[in-house]
Amino acid sequence: MPEVLTGRKPVTLQRLRDMRAAGEKIAALTCYDALFAQVLDDARVDCLLVGDSLGMVLQGHGTTLPVTLEQMSYHVRCVARGNRWAWLIGDLPHGSYQQSAEQALASACELMRAGAHMVKLEGGGWTAATVRFLSERGIPVCGHLGLTPQSVHALGGWRVQGRDAQEAGLLLQHARELQEAGAAMLVLELVPSGLAAQVSAELDIPVLGIGAGPRCSGQVLVLHDVLGLQTVRTPRFVRNFMEDAGQIEKAVQAYVRAVKNGRFPEEGVHTY
């Protein structure tokens, strides 16, 4: 239905900032195709993330490393066709932004042409200059700290990040630097809930958590995990919303509701 009949407005960066300021939780899910985009959009998911997790979920790889920019661009195009209102974030895949700020800009432009509203890149420290380069050129950028899957081999596995004081301090510093460089959003993955709460409270930008506890501006999960479809052992931060809902549309609605009213994630159950 058109906007005049639904009263629905597209989710914008300003709207996401307002939600953060008002304490309204942001509900995000990964999405890789047009049909699911339509389903999630209808269920009023605020942000759709075309994540490079598709390398593991759709392609059957053991990590996200083999995913290419061309593949990401294809999936962003698919999702953009099915989406109408949600804010669309595209992951820059491994090797598409590390070489230089210029390389990152070219890769980001490819995803923006495909229909992304924002790009996401992993890591702290050196990424600040790249985030600044893209932001100054009108491309909204989302940072990603904590467990950064593209560095899984360097990190020594899918391990919780920021457990000791030194690691926590560095993560907080990286988060500040990303915001200062112009990052408009931040994903925190697999970090202790207290640290995620501290980062979210200190920053002015929306912080989406995945395995980062309930005190973030919002949550993001892999869609297939929410639907109880798992090829690997389910991480503890996941909740299967299909169990009670019994139907995909209802499960997604239940996820949005649980995030909005703060019942997911549950401290001590889905947290570290």
Ligand X SMILES: Nc1nc(=O)c2c([nH]1)NC[C@@H]1CN(c3ccc(C(=O)N[C@@H](CCC(=O)O)C(=O)O)cc3)CN21
Which residue ranges are tagged as binding site for Mg(2+)? 52, 91, 122
Q: Does 189 bind Mg ion (CB under 5 A)?
A: no
3 or 54: CB nearest ligand KIV: 54
From the list ligand X, ligand KIV, Mg ion, none, which binds 46 (C-beta under 5 to 8 Å, kind-based)? Answer: none
Taking the C-alpha atoms of residue 71 and residue 50, their distance in angstroms, rounded to an integer, is 11
| Cβ-Cβ contacts under 8 Å for 101 (sequence gap 6 or more) | 129, 130, 133, 134
DSSP H stretches of helix in 145-262: 152-155, 165-180, 193-202, 223-226, 242-245, 248-260
Candidates 131, 133, 108; CA nearest to 177 is 131
From the list Mg ion, ligand X, ligand KIV, none, which binds 30 (C-beta under 5 to 8 Å, kind-based)? Answer: ligand KIV
- We find the least distance from the C-beta atom of residue 13 to Mg ion, in angstroms, to be 20
Candidates 98, 100, 210; CA nearest to 154 is 98
Among positions 39-78, residues that touch ligand X (CB under 6 A) are: 53, 56-57, 64
Query: What φ, ψ does residue 47 adopt, rounded to 5°?
Result: -130, 135
Q: Strand, helix or coil at 192?
A: coil
Residues that bind ligand X (rule: CB under 6 A) add up to a total of: 14
- CB-facing half-sphere around the CA of 164: CA atoms within 13 A: 2
From the list Mg ion, ligand KIV, ligand X, none, which binds 28 (C-beta under 5 to 8 Å, kind-based)? Answer: none
- We find the least distance from the C-beta atom of residue 14 to ligand X, in angstroms, to be 29
- We find the least distance from the C-beta atom of residue 196 to ligand KIV, in angstroms, to be 13
- Active site (annotated) includes residue 102: no
24 or 167: CB nearest ligand X: 167
Write out the E strands in the chain: 26-30, 47-50, 87-91, 118-120, 141-146, 185-189, 207-210, 218-221
Query: What φ, ψ does residue 146 adopt, rounded to 5°?
Result: 95, -130
Q: Does 219 bind ligand X (CB under 6 A)?
A: no
- We find the least distance from the C-beta atom of residue 144 to ligand KIV, in angstroms, to be 6
Taking the C-alpha atoms of residue 232 and residue 238, their distance in angstroms, rounded to an integer, is 12
Among residues 190, 196, 203, 216, which is the contact residue for ligand X, using CB under 6 A? 190
110 or 189: CB nearest ligand KIV: 189
Q: Which neighbouring-strand residues pair with 145?
A: 188
Among residues 225, 239, 245, 258, which is the contact residue for ligand X, using CB under 6 A? 225
Q: Does 51 bind Mg ion (CB under 5 A)?
A: yes
132 or 224: CB nearest ligand X: 224
Q: Given 189, 202, 243, 267, which residue is catalytic?
A: 189
Q: Does 96 bind ligand X (CB under 6 A)?
A: no
Give the interface with ligand X as residue ranges (CB under 6 A). Answer: 53, 56-57, 64, 149, 158-160, 190, 222, 224-225, 235-236
Residues acting as catalytic residues: 189
